[in-house]
């Protein structure tokens, strides 16, 4: 069941015409400032505003006719929910989405806008996986989790496949990490296409379970971390993603929230790209100077752009 580069190639064919081939942005200012050549893969411009549409469409378009008729259930704090809601709409598949009651309102409203049935739960008291599994068995729905699924991982890997296909060899690739679906898919693709490309996973400092798991080689968890990177508040890497991260990822680093927000605003101002906090994790690590990038060709996945603008009053002080 562990996905391979062949599965990413297959996913790339599967999503053609449905997902956008997103642009790659560059900035002379950033290149001059870092002494590197930095390529930003703009998944904030992907359909539904994040790379998650890639995995969601890859998974749902492979449903059997019977599975399509019965529908899909998933749990997500936001972007995977929107992606499943939209992919299901495109494919005509009924979809039930289990979301935390404190998920950003923009993400809940967008999910409902794509025609998903949203069921809210209390993050502190209830287990979203258990709710998802119960709905799956009660209603005959197929569960498609946000990251620990071979079709999801393979779909997410297509962003890096496109990036390397477009810009050529990279020395380093910075990838935001929550449950590790994007990171493991990216790392499989990078290793297959450019064996010398080092892939770096980036987490918010408060949710550093993946970095600790990577260092100790034992799965570590974190409970409901407080961070503006709401797309990376996952409790741990998955049973599929963790071994892939250990096998293919060169290092895991973390970024604190003030640095993350500062980078996010910098991307808005310099690149004119609206990126959400989680989406700026890779850029924050690349620009922080803690991992040397001078003289290198560096890829950065800007993973999403679904900003909750109601948070601006609290965030703007970090600009």
Ligand X SMILES: *Cc1c(COP(=O)(O)O)cnc(C)c1O
According to CB under 6 A, which residues from 8 to 37 bind ligand X?
none
57 lies in the site for ligand X, by CB under 6 A: no
Q: Interacting stretch for ligand X, rule CB under 6 A, among 8-16, 108-116, 174-182, 291-299?
A: 174-182
The distance of closest approach from Cβ of residue 82 to ligand X in the complex, given in angstroms and rounded to an integer, is 9
79 lies in the site for ligand X, by CB under 6 A: yes
The distance of closest approach from Cβ of residue 52 to ligand X in the complex, given in angstroms and rounded to an integer, is 5
74 lies in the site for ligand X, by CB under 6 A: no
206 lies in the site for ligand X, by CB under 6 A: no
180 lies in the site for ligand X, by CB under 6 A: yes
Per the annotation, the verdict on 186 as an active-site residue is no
50 lies in the site for ligand X, by CB under 6 A: yes
Which of 145, 150, 157, 176 is the binder for ligand X (CB under 6 A)? 176
253 lies in the site for ligand X, by CB under 6 A: no
282 lies in the site for ligand X, by CB under 6 A: no
231 lies in the site for ligand X, by CB under 6 A: yes
Strand ranges of the sheet holding 117-121, from the earlier edge strand across to the other edge: 117-121, 95-100, 72-75, 142-143
Which of 72, 93, 177, 240 is the binder for ligand X (CB under 6 A)? 177
Q: Interacting stretch for ligand X, rule CB under 6 A, among 30-38, 56-64, 116-124, 273-281?
A: 273-281
Q: Which is nearer to ligand X, 86 or 177 (CB)?
A: 177
In the set 77, 184, 236, 303, the catalytic residue is: 77
The distance of closest approach from Cβ of residue 26 to ligand X in the complex, given in angstroms and rounded to an integer, is 21
What are the phi and psi torsion angles at 150 (to 5°)? -60, -40
Per the annotation, the verdict on 41 as an active-site residue is no
Report d(CA 53, CA 47) in Å as an integer: 6
Catalytic residues: 52, 77
Site residues, ligand X (CB under 6 A): 50, 52, 79-80, 146-147, 156, 176-183, 231-232, 234, 276, 278-279, 303-304
């Amino acid at each position: 069941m562990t996905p391979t580069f062949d599965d990413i190639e297959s996913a790339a064919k599967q999503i053609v015409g449905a997902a956008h081939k997103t642009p790659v942005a560059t900035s002379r200012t950033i290149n001059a400032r870092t002494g590197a050549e930095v390529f930003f893969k703009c998944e904030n411009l992907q359909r539904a505003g994040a790379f998650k549409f890639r995995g969601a469409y890859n998974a749902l378009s492979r449903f059997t006719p019977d599975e399509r008729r019965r529908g899909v259930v998933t749990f997500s704090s936001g972007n995977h929910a929107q992606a499943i809601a939209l992919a299901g709409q495109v494919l005509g598949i009924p979809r039930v989405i289990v979301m935390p009651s404190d998920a950003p309102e923009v993400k809940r409203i967008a999910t409902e806008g794509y025609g998903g049935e949203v069921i809210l739960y209390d993050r502190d008291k209830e287990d979203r996986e258990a709710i998802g599994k119960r709905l799956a068995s009660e209603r005959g729905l197929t569960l498609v989790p946000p990251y620990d699924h071979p079709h999801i991982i393979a779909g997410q890997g297509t962003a890096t496949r496109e990036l390397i296909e477009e810009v050529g060899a990279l020395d380093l690739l910075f990838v935001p990490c929550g449950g590790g679906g994007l990171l493991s898919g990216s790392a499989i693709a990078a290793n297959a296409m450019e064996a010398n490309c080092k892939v770096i996973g980036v987490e918010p400092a408060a949710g550093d379970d993946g970095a600790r798991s990577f260092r100790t080689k034992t799965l570590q968890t974190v409970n409901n971390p407080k961070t503006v990177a709401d797309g990376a508040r996952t409790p741990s890497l998955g049973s599929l993603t963790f071994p892939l991260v250990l096998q293919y990822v060169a290092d895991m680093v973390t970024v604190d929230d003030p640095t993350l927000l500062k980078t996010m605003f910098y991307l808005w101002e310099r690149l004119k790209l609206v990126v959400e906090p989680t989406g700026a994790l890779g850029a924050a690590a690349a620009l922080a100077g803690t991992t040397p990038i001078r003289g290198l060709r560096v890829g950065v996945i800007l993973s999403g752009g679904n900003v909750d603008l109601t948070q601006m009053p609290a965030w703007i002080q970090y600009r």
